Amino acid sequence: MSYIWDIKMEVVQEILDQLYRKVLLGTTLEDDVHGYIFYLNPDLSEQDGCPTFPVAQSNASGVLDGMAGQHGPSSHEVAILPGAQECPKRQLQMDRTREVKLLQLTVIDTMLSRVLSDETETHAKEGYRELTDVLLQCVELDSKLMRMLPNSDKLLSHMAAKCLASLLYFQLREKKMLSNSWVTFCQKHLSESSESGEAVHCLWILTTVIKEILKDTHSQRAESLKQLLTPFDITFEVFYNSLFSQHFGDFQSPSNIASSLMCFLELLELLVASRIHLKLHFRSQRMLFLKPHALDILAWPIPAFIKRKLVILIKKCLLCKVGEDLCREPAPSLMSPDHLLDSDMLTLADTLLHAVHVGLWKALAVSGKPSCFGGDEVQPGCRLRTGPDHVTLRAASLITVKSLEIKSQNCTSAAEMKVALQTFMSELLAFLKPHLQPSLQPHNPCEWLSRVFIEQDDDMLEAAKASLSIYLQLTREWDASASLTQEKEAWICSTHGHGCNPHCVFLFFLKNVAFDSTVLLDFLISSETCFLEYFVKYLKLLQKDWAHFLSICKFFAAVESQCGMLVHDPVPSPARGRSTSHTVPHALTSPVGENTCPWLPWAFDASSESQSQVMMPKETHPVPANGPPSRTPQSLVDYDSSEASEEETTSEHLANSKQTSLCQERSEEIQGLPRTWKEQKEHSLEPQSRPLLSAESSSPFSAKGRVAADGTAWQVGLFLRTVKCLEELQGAIYRLQEKNLFPYNPAALLKLLKGVEAKCVNL
């Protein structure tokens, strides 16, 4: 019988191979599709005896006759072979059985994909669809696939899960009822244990199906996903509580919990993505926002990549970027506000900030492993390079700043915002301090942003935009409350001391891109970052806060003069760093919170400021009572009309009386500058006739150099390079616009750059 069994399995394998080739090419099945049911039954290889072949006789007999010359008797003699000796090599039979099962699963999975493919001919689709329906009804294919999931053979188990996922997706696309046995199977195992292998398989299959739904472009995606999630909504919540509410030591199989965590975190990401992109509303889609238990795993003794996945997931949630890599169609540019999502975002931000305050980042280990190409061992003769896990470091930093931005939009007073800024930015800077080498400059903590995100442009710009939004929100509150000058001065010192000064951040950003205007142009044209939104907001601030910007430039120049640090390379070398600790001007390192800060904008003459003042409109952003403003994508600037900026009013500006009183401090501030800075100013006054920019420049920024009213010549390197960069950028935009090569109407953007030009001309 062993010989007969071998012949039978060879016949089955040959027929399956022929069927696979047909399905792979999408050709029509010529024979009766019901004849193939026998060969696609997963139990076929486990049957005893030698059953007759029900497939079309032309196929079966042809295959058997073709094999007769190799194995002896013909197909008609196989059943009566006398004295067939049984093969003693049981392992060979097991290998043959495994190969047949894998081929069956491959054919089924390929057939399901061809049914849903637009490239498959209609007649061929009908045959595949009929064959699939018969497998479900007569063979109970779904139940047999579920029994294969716990197989010790990992490849067989994976292929069974893959086929089951394809089968479920097929049922959803064909608007059929989901398999009751599958729903019961999942509900049972997800509710009973969060660390069982069956639960992991259920999570993986559900995740795969949701991914296929999100990647598809058909118009019934929301309906399909709703049909899938409805029976599991409560089950997911039960699993969430079971997984994250326990202490790590309470798990019976801690080694298996990593798989459950990875699969469930991926499922959570897809649930949030479906909420944002498909506008579905299930309880399970809000779990991550409303239940803070998931943050507890950051302190568990689990692999670092799982913690990194959670931190990155929270980052994507706060940025509303979940699922962008899956959904082929971009989210609509204009969508109705989702106030419930906004409220959930605020809850998540508050939960995260509370966890940061009680030591979340202190418990998070971000030490990275040596980076070794092709393995995890350092080869002899190679240097060992170690460092922090920069991916986790960036994600943790960004979600802290983003959560602080969301919280600031809901604070009721400027004082409350200031306390939040000081508390949480201090925690963040303390968390970053041991991981940044060389250490941050003590006189300018704002450098942290460019240092942490230097290898990730999109995250850097998101962090810069969030930091700028915090500053703008606080500034509006201070202006609205008509605070005393000393209070506002202390507030600006506080933003600088806690790494949130927008001008410092922008200057460090320009340093990172080497003041290259082509890089800025690439950012403006590309849709992969939020640079356009950030740049527009900053240019508006720059015109209103021009004196503050000039004071920051003076501050950088003074530090350069005293510390011997080049402006274009503010990160000191190890040798240079040792000499900076005692040469930083004392006036520039005054403790945060004091009411004196010698580099504040009040150091400039009122007449100079009034000549170059370009008034910008007061932006009204009321603080909502029930949550932050919706982060639904909206149009940043009305580029269809160049009149957008013309309609802006000039209602927001500092009172003349306040400016006059502040400028009385100018002489004291100048006296407080270091001696070397005064000498540098005197020395820089020699070439007074030198223009601010090169004489060859023909762009709108070609302003003549002049000395400011306080005697400072602004031909210093940082200011010059910044203005030159903006000049080149404006010229490039003009040229592209003239040739109709710019991807959108840049009139409003050019108008803002023109305003900066006016400031430079009148300096």
The answer to which of 52-66, 140-154, 178-192, 340-354 has the lowest mean pLDDT is 52-66
C-beta atoms surrounding 583 within 10 Å? 14
Q: What is the pLDDT of residue 64?
A: 43
Average pLDDT for 649-659:
34
Most trustworthy range by pLDDT among 298-302, 360-364, 440-444, 743-747:
743-747
Stretch among 65-79, 446-460, 669-683 having the lowest mean pLDDT:
669-683
Residue 90: burial class (beta carbons within 10 Å; 0-12, 13-18, 19+): exposed
* DSSP structure class, residue 79: G
Find, among 647, 639, 709, 712, the residue nearest to 681 by Cα: 712
- Residue 168 confidence (pLDDT) above 70: yes
pLDDT surpassing 90 at residue 480 = no
For 329-350, what is the mean pLDDT? 78
The full DSSP string for 699-747 is STT-PPP-B-TTS-B---HHHHHHHHHHHHHHHHHHHHHHTT-SSS--H
* Cβ neighbours for 57, distance < 8 A, ≥ 6 positions apart: none
Q: How confident is the model at residue 330 (pLDDT cuts 50, 70, 90)?
A: low
Per-residue pLDDT, 753: 94
Q: What's the mean pLDDT when you consider all of the chain?
A: 75
Average pLDDT over residues 483-500: 74
What's the confidence (pLDDT) of residue 481? 56
- Chain center to CA of 490: 35
Query: 707 forms bridges with which residues in the sheet?
Result: 713
**Average pLDDT estimate for 518-531:** 92
* pLDDT computed for residue 509 by the predictor: 94
DSSP conformational letter for 153: -
User: Which residue has better confidence, 583 or 36?
Assistant: 36
| pLDDT number for residue 87 | 53
What is the DSSP code (8-state) at residue 484? Answer: -
Would you say residue 263 has pLDDT above 90? Answer: yes
Q: State yes or no: pLDDT of 700 exceeds 50.
A: no
Residue 484 predicted with pLDDT over 50? yes
CA angle 567, 568, 572 (to 5 degrees): 75
pLDDT for position 45? 58
- Closest Cα partner for 623 from 335, 416, 427? 416
Which of 134-138, 206-210, 251-255 is predicted most confidently?
206-210
> Which tens digit of pLDDT belongs to each residue from 89-111?
677 778 888 899 999 999 999 99
Q: DSSP secondary structure string, 593-659? A: T-S--TTSGGGS-HHHHHHH----PPPP-PPPSSSSPP-----SS-TT-TTTTTT--------HHHH
In this predicted structure, the answer to whether residue 129 has a pLDDT above a threshold of 60 is yes
* pTM higher than 0.85: no
Which comes out higher in pLDDT, residue 73 or 153? 153
Residue 652: the pLDDT is 35
Q: What pLDDT is recorded for position 118?
A: 87
Least confident range from 175-184, 550-559, 686-695, 749-758: namely 686-695
Residue 134 has a CB neighbour count (10 Å cut-off) of: 16
Phi, psi of 707 (to 5 degrees): -95, 135
- The residue whose two tokens read 């486990």 is 46
According to the model, what pLDDT value does residue 494 have? 78
25 or 674, which is more confident: 25
What pLDDT does residue 558 have? 80
Burial of 386 (0-12, 13-18, 19+ CB in 10 A): exposed
Q: How many angstroms separate the CA atoms of 302 and 310, rounded?
A: 12
Q: What pLDDT does residue 659 have? A: 35
pLDDT at position 270 is: 95
Separation CA 423–CA 492 (nearest Å) = 16
**Which tokens go with 553?**
């430039």
At residue 137, the pLDDT reads: 87
Buried-state track 459-495, b at ≥16 Cβ within 10 A, e below 16: bbbbbbbbbbbbbbbbbbbbbeeebeeeebbbbbbbb
